[in-house]
Amino acid sequence: MALAQPETRVYSVFMPPGDWFTHSGANYAFFPFFHHWNWYYGHVQRDGVVGIRTDYPRSGNGSVFFSTPTALAKSDIEFRFLDGQTYWGRLRDLEWLSYEWYRDGRSTVGAHIHLPLRIYVGNLDSQGRIRDLGYLIYELSMNGGGAVPVDTWVQEELAASNRRFWQNPINGGNFFDAQPLSVWQSEEGYQPRDGDRIGVRYNGDSVVCGVSVGAGTGWNGVFIGAVANIILRFRHGVQLHFNFEVRPAGDVNGDGQVDDTDLLWILMLFGTNCSAYCPYDLNRDGTVDDTDLLIVLTHFGTGG
């Protein structure tokens, strides 16, 4: 079933300066948002960092911060409908796709590297379930780009300008034979090949069910950067604008307001011991207590 969603602010898990999610292991770590369904920090490994923070504010007080200290590090932020049936629209109807990215001048990776944008795409079976899930991935280097700007925000539109995308099927490896979006959107579509490997055929009937931005792996050197304002528009009227902001101090439930609901959460959870991943413990000292209550009362009525 296709689903319309209004423009939304995606708030950080924690209060200012925001989130700093990392994982040192070789396995992927995932950190789901408690307050925005289907959003999560994912594929975090080998000291990669991701989080909505105030380091590079854009269209408000925040953006999504990324850092990968080595070629082995990785970190993503993603939205994906997880029920296997819901999607925003057909690939053929995607008429606008844009985002803003920032590369910090301290980055030492190749001069052509910036944060790529990925859309989750799949095919519907006869029961309306999404199969053949994978990414179509945009990178400027696949579109004739050279060295990218640093220390400035760059806005790119990818659908109306018919940029080239390459495919990464889930568990299927990479296919770097990038094609203009119009080819993927056509009736015949495109099925990439690389020797004996065959990718997934996506065409105009394929569905778009998520979006992703990430840093690493295989980027030799250090990368530091950020992403903001992801916008998708479909011809049938679905329009999405994801603006990433750090939630206000005292905002317990992550809706951008400090109000009665936040006060009620603190009172219900008062005395609870919290782990490191506990947004209700506002000052992150391990317990929901008087200090957290005072933070809510001090900032009551703010936000919006």
Residue 85 in 3-state DSSP?
Answer: coil
> In which band, very low, low, confident or very high, does the pLDDT at 6 lie, cut at 50, 70 and 90?
low
pLDDT at residue 1 in the model: 53
* DSSP class per residue in 21-36: EEE-SSS-EEEE-SSS
pLDDT score, position 274: 86
Q: Which helix (H) or strand (E) holds 243?
A: strand 239-245
> pLDDT at residue 279 above 90?
no
Tens of pLDDT, residue by residue over 222-254, are 999 999 999 999 998 889 999 999 999 999 999
Q: Give the residue-averaged pLDDT of 131-142.
A: 97
Which amino acid is located at 237 in the chain?
Answer: G
pTM of the model: 0.94
With pLDDT > 70 as the criterion, what percentage of the chain qualifies? 98
What is the per-residue burial (b if ≥16 Cβ within 10 Å, else e) of 259-277? beebbebbeebeeeebeee
User: Tokens in use for 301?
Assistant: 């009525």
Mean per-residue pLDDT over the chain, rounded = 94
Which pLDDT does position 303 carry in this prediction? 87
DSSP states along 128-197: S-EEEEEEEEE-GGGGT--SPP-SSEEEEE-TTTT-EEEEEETTS--EEEEEEHHHHHSSS-B--EETTE
User: Which tens digits make up the pLDDT trace of 15-24?
Assistant: 999 999 999 9
Residue 294 phi/psi, 5-degree rounding, is -65, -35
Segment (H or E) for 10: strand 8-11
User: Is pLDDT at 276 greater than 80 in this prediction?
Assistant: no
> What average pLDDT score do residues 79-87 get?
95
4 has pLDDT over 50: no
| In the predicted structure, residue 2 carries a pLDDT above the cut 70 | no
Which one is predicted more confidently, 201 or 284? 201
- Of the listed ranges 5-9, 138-142, 173-177, 289-293, the least confidently predicted one is 5-9
Q: Is the pLDDT of residue 3 over 80?
A: no
pLDDT of 62 strictly over 60: yes
**Over pLDDT 90: what percentage of the chain?**
88
Q: What is the pLDDT of residues 147-192, one digit of tens each?
A: 999 999 999 999 999 999 999 999 788 999 999 999 999 999 999 9
Question: Each residue of 25-55: pLDDT tens digit?
Answer: 999 999 999 888 999 999 999 999 999 999 9
Q: How far is CA 166 from CA 119, 141, 175, 230, in A?
A: 11, 11, 6, 19
